[in-house]
Amino acid sequence: MIAPQLVRVLKVGLTLIVLVVAWEIACRAFQVPSYLVPAPSAIAAKLHEKRDLYLGHTWVTLYETVGGFALAVAAGVIAAALIVVVPPVRDIIMPLLLIAQLVPKVAIAPILLIWFGYGLLPKILIAFLVAFFPIVVNVASGLAAVERELLDLGHSLEATRWQIFWKFRMPTALPELFSGMKIAITLAVIGAVIGEFVGGNRGLGYLILIANQDLDTPLAFAALLILSVVGIVLYALIELAERLLIPWSASVNHYLEAERA
């Protein structure tokens, strides 16, 4: 069990190391100026040199991302439940949702800034807006995917609507909730950064913006690297929760099969 997992990690790790080394060699061989493409060593040096700078900005971006994501999950599950359980609502909400999804969120960001100022709230709202849609769509299709025979069984036992929802629909939708959350968390990181780009004075997005203005490209890359790590860690946490909470799910078993193979 351990060995194949180790092999998988080694494969990814080795590929990354090879890429980074090639990058370093290319930068030195062609004497690429640092403000165009900084060498990995330069980025590492920048990470070390300004190590006191990052923590605060990372914390802000993390806060915005997780805040927007949590809102999206809560509102998304409620909206999906309404769509599935109250049919008239579906006919009204679905077209509105689609229209809302087609509006570019980058274009909404400046308006949100006007309404809610330069604090954390507009960033959280943008992260929420981009993360909301995949949650609703996935959970709604999951809630509707209960086997017809299982519903017949419930009705034959005179199950209440409440019982049908909590005992039949919600557990059926959990795998879809998790796939929705995996998409949503990556989008929420992007949403938070968009918010910081448009206006603000804190966060990793803001740091990248400032670094660009100063042509301090190594700093921009350092911030980018931290941003990626934040995204990967959040994603991995959701996957871990998925494995712990719904071990019966086909998607979880699929991973395990792949690891055994």
Partner 1 sequence: MAPSTPATPMIDVAGLRKTYSTRDGAIVTLDGVSFSVAAQEFVSVLGPSGCGKTTVLKIIAGLVPPSDGQVQIEGIRVTGSQRKIGIVFQVPALMRWRTAIGNVMLPAEILGLDPVRSRHRAAELMKLVGLADFATKYPNELSGGMQQRVAIARALVHDPSILLLDEPFSALDMMTRNQLNIELLRIWSERRKTSLLITHSIPEAVFLSDRVVVLGPRPANVLEIVPVPLPRPRTPEMRVTTDFMKIVDHIGRRIGLEYV
Chain contacts with partner 1 (rule: CB under 8 A): 147, 149-150, 152-159, 163, 167-168, 171, 174, 246, 248-250, 253
110 near 198, Cβ under 8 Å?
A: yes
Closest contact distance (angstroms) between CB of 156 and partner 1 is 5
Q: Which is nearer to partner 1, 90 or 167 (CB)?
A: 167
Residue 118: DSSP 8-state: T
Closest contact distance (angstroms) between CB of 249 and partner 1 is 8
- How far is it between the farthest Cα atoms of the chain? 76
Q: Give the Cα separation of 41 and 200 in Å (integer).
A: 30
Q: Which is nearer to partner 1, 111 or 153 (CB)?
A: 153
Q: Which is nearer to partner 1, 121 or 174 (CB)?
A: 174
Closest contact distance (angstroms) between CB of 141 and partner 1 is 17
Q: Which is nearer to partner 1, 165 or 197 (CB)?
A: 165
Residue 160 CB-density burial (10 A; 0-12 exposed, 13-18 middle, 19+ buried): exposed
Across 125-152, b (16+ Cβ under 10 Å) vs e yields bbbbbbbbbbbbbbbbebbbebeeeeee
76 near 245, Cβ under 8 Å?
A: no
Helix segments in 30-147, DSSP class H: 40-49, 51-85, 87-102, 105-116, 121-143
Q: Which is nearer to partner 1, 160 or 228 (CB)?
A: 160
Closest contact distance (angstroms) between CB of 109 and partner 1 is 40
Closest contact distance (angstroms) between CB of 4 and partner 1 is 21
